[in-house]
Amino acid sequence: MDSDRKVALITGASQGIGAALAGAYRERGYRVVATARSMRPSDDPDILAVAGDIAERSTAERVISEAVTRFGRVDTLVNNAGIFIAKPFTDYTEADYLMVLGVNTTGFFHITQLAIAQMEKRGGGHVVQITTTLAEQANSKVPAVLAALTKGGLNAATRSLAIEYAGRGIRVNAVAPGIIRTPMHPPESHAALDGMHPLGHMGDISDIVQAVLYLEAAPFVTGEILHVDGGQSAGR
């Protein structure tokens, strides 16, 4: 087993931002552990694909175990997996609450705890959360209390972990996107979504990927919530 090359672990990696992040880290010579509920096997020997529900601790344990067995290390964790449900507060069901909390918060807790334990063994590492600008700048047009509750918690946890592990060589940051142009937004909605950003347009997946890669290459940055939101966090 060649354990000299760095390894990046990406959650929610089957499509969209997660898949793009997996590809970007591979292009930079990293080995990649990609996990998602519907993750398909990869023909690339430097990509370990692990299918499973990130909300379950058993999935996190299996992902870390297989990563260490296959590649010998974990250097970077990108907590990209997330669920977003926009509803008026009183319309949320208990099922909505449990599903969003399970993926956004519980999933973060399990995989991050186990990944940091591996990073400590090597004396360094990097953890990045993908959150949302809505956690800090509520929008009357987008009722999203569950996103604020869970992703806002990740922002707070990012700062707390950054301080806790700064002396052990482990950096912890977050990227807070605005609305990103993905297939989940039908073309007929684009004009309205573009107009919700001071810059006048939605972001692209590549904007988030570049933000994560910046943080990866910024050894003096930790505890940062990097807003990639077209100016939304600055005001309306």
What is the tens place of the pLDDT at every residue in 116-140?
999 999 999 999 999 999 999 898 8
Global confidence as pTM: 0.96
Q: What is the pLDDT of residue 182?
A: 85
**Mean model confidence pLDDT for the chain:** 96
- Residue 86 placed within a domain: yes
- Please, what sign has the CA dihedral across residues 190, 104, 77, 136? positive
Phi then psi dihedrals of residue 40, to 5 deg: -95, 150
CATH number (domain holding residue 16):
3.40.50.720
Q: What is the pLDDT of residue 230?
A: 96
Q: Count the domains in the chain.
A: 1
* Mean pLDDT in residue range 4-12: 96
* Mean pLDDT in residue range 213-230: 98
- In whole angstroms, what is the distance from residue 8 CA to residue 220 CA? 19
For residue 137, give Cα distances in angstroms to 45, 97, 228.
42, 21, 13
- Please, what sign has the CA dihedral across residues 87, 89, 94, 98? positive
- Residue 12 placed within a domain: yes
- Residue 1 placed within a domain: no
Q: What is the pLDDT of residue 42?
A: 94
- Residue 163 placed within a domain: yes
154-178, pLDDT tens digit by residue?
999 999 999 999 999 999 999 999 9
What range does the domain containing 156 cover?
7-228
Q: What is the pLDDT of residue 185?
A: 84
For residue 11, give Cα distances in angstroms to 49, 82, 188.
10, 9, 29
- Residue 233 placed within a domain: no
- Residue 108 placed within a domain: yes
- Residue 235 placed within a domain: no
18-58, pLDDT tens digit by residue?
999 999 999 999 999 999 999 999 999 999 999 999 999 99
174-218, pLDDT tens digit by residue?
999 999 998 778 899 999 999 999 999 999 999 999 999 999 999
- In whole angstroms, what is the distance from residue 148 CA to residue 150 CA? 6
Q: What is the pLDDT of residue 1?
A: 53
**Confidence grade of residue 2 (pLDDT, cut at 50, 70, 90):** low
What percent of the chain lies above the pLDDT cut of 70?
99
**Confidence grade of residue 148 (pLDDT, cut at 50, 70, 90):** very high
**Residue 9 amino acid letter:** L
